[in-house]
Amino acid sequence: MKKLVALLALCSMNAVAEGVPIYGTIESKCVITTDTVGVYGNPTPNKLSTTAADGGVEAIIRYDVINANYYKARITYPNSFSTSPSLTDVVNWTGSVSVGEVGDAAMSAYDTNKVEYNNVYETDLSIAGSTWFKVSSTATYGYDKSFPSGNYSAVVEAECVAL
């Protein structure tokens, strides 16, 4: 009995406990790429517009998702200039977001299933693949008031929101 006790004591002295860490990194499976940078046209002195008819270029944003139904696209078209000359009057903003091109025909339904509020466009990315969203923006100044000369820029904010 004594020998047995001595053996157990020896075993307990050799036992070593160690915490082994497991590391992991998560990279988003939703990638947003600027396909085309928008350009404001200036058809009249009081108007800046990205529509082709007004001499502008619509911004195009591409969303790539590897898996379906894990993300939604949230795109906010501008309601203020990020840079501009000093403005003393009100700027009236309008804009729109729509699906421009699709990697799968069924993605055409994104526009049907969209949710819009204020200047925000949201739609669930329910199909894996690439979707191109086009964003238009129009700004008019005061009541038929001319914009001061200078450089103007505005920002479209595109987000991948995890569902």
Partner 1 sequence: MLASSYSYCSDIVYGSTNNAASTGYQWVMTNVLPQQAGLEVTGVVYRYTTVKNTEDPMLVTVQNKNALSTGYIFRSTDDWSGLPSNTLNKFVPTSSIPIEYWGNGEIAIEGQGEVKDANIIYNYQYDPCFDPQSNPECPRYINTDFTIATTVIEYIEEDPNKPITYKDDEQEEADSKKRSKEKKKERLEVALQVVSVALMTAEAVAQAEALLSMNAQIVNYELNNIPGGTYLEDASYLSAQLPDNNSGARNGLAQQILHNEMVESQYKSEK
Binding site for partner 1 (CB under 8 A): 99-109, 111-112, 130, 132
Cβ 70 to partner 1 shortest distance, Å: 21
Closest C-alpha to 36, from 19, 8, 61: 61
Q: Which is nearer to partner 1, 102 or 155 (CB)?
A: 102
The answer to whether 114 and 131 have CB atoms below 8 angstroms apart is: no
CB 99 within 8 Å of CB 107: yes
Cβ nearer to partner 1, comparing 41 with 100: 100
Min dist CB 139 to partner 1, Å, is 27
Question: How far, rounded to the nearest angstrom, does the alpha carbon of residue 23 sit from its chain's CA centroid?
Answer: 28
Between CA 136 and CA 145 the distance in angstroms is 22
Q: How far is the CB of 89 from partner 1 (least distance, A)?
A: 39
Nearer to partner 1, 107 or 154 (CB): 107
